[in-house]
Structure 1
């Protein structure tokens, strides 16, 4: 293992909204990264019963869904249906149709995909902005 193997693929972004979970997904998402994502979401739900989510994909290279515990996936899906209002995705691939299919029992979740060059529109759609520490990235 080299030092790059330890870099997490899921990176939380600071925003102007406390009830917005914004993350970068960089490269390949391992099962451990997926578990970390669900942990970040649970922490957000503990602070805010209703949240929005922004996902910025950077050189995305797939997810090890098969290696994430089935109970974690089921619980994560159920909790997302209870707590998430809007979800903006930025970059490729556009997986909003897949997410809508998985979360078909949660028609209240509004998904919207934005191209990388339209990132500012995604932030505007969610009524937020990255904090100073995050500007200039992506």
Structure 2
């Protein structure tokens, strides 16, 4: 049945859609999203971020959004992911999101006043400005 082939799962590994990126700044944790975020991507992401959360103190995040195609709904019920999210809500002092769809920029503008962290959106071409903003903050503002 050829029509099943288009929906059948491939044994080829999926490209990594959520990855930690080297940023040359130990004070900023940078990551990139490029596609649909799968549950296995979250596990790898947590492995990088958990030591920073366990260390305590404030964190600065830089999220570069190349292409966002949603996420695997199973992520929402993963207790380890939810625990990490709650820790991040307490520990992230500054979060710069670079790029992404238009609705994401609007959502960030609406959410920013409701969060303890400083949250800002920067256009796709403004990553240098995002890094400068994060670097100029002291983590306790």
TM-score range, shorter chain: 0.7 to 0.9
Cα 1:120/1:11, change in 2 over 3 Å: same
Corresponding residue to 1:63 among 68, 71, 75: 71
How far residue 119 of structure 1 moved from its aligned partner, in angstroms, is 1.6
TM-score normalised by L of structure 1: 0.74
Cα 1:17/1:96, change in 2 over 3 Å: farther
Secondary structure of 2:63's aligned partner: strand
Answer with 1 or 2: which has the greater Rg: 2
How far residue 34 of structure 1 moved from its aligned partner, in angstroms, is 2.4
* 1:1-138 matched pairs, under 5 angstroms: 1=10, 3=12, 5-47=13-55, 49-64=57-72, 66-68=73-75, 69-93=77-101, 94=104, 97=107, 101=111, 104=114, 107-127=115-135
For residues 107-131 of structure 1, give each alpha carbon's deviation from its aligned partner in whole angstroms, at most 9, with x where no partner exists: 3211100110112111111118xxx
Structure holding more strand per residue = 2
Q: How far apart, in 1, do the equivalents of 2:92 and 2:82 lie? A: 15
Secondary structure of 2:20's aligned partner: strand
TM-score normalised by L of structure 2: 0.72
Cα 1:99/1:84, change in 2 over 3 Å: farther
Q: How far apart, in 2, do the equivalents of 1:109 and 1:50 lie? A: 10
The aligned length equals 124
RMSD: 2.8
Structure holding more helix per residue = 2
Q: How far apart, in 1, do the equivalents of 2:106 and 2:95 lie? A: 9
Question: Who is 1:136 aligned against?
Answer: none
How far residue 35 of structure 1 moved from its aligned partner, in angstroms, is 3.0
Structure 1: tracts of 5 or more residues without a match: 129-138
8 A Cα contact 1:20 1:51, kept in partner? yes
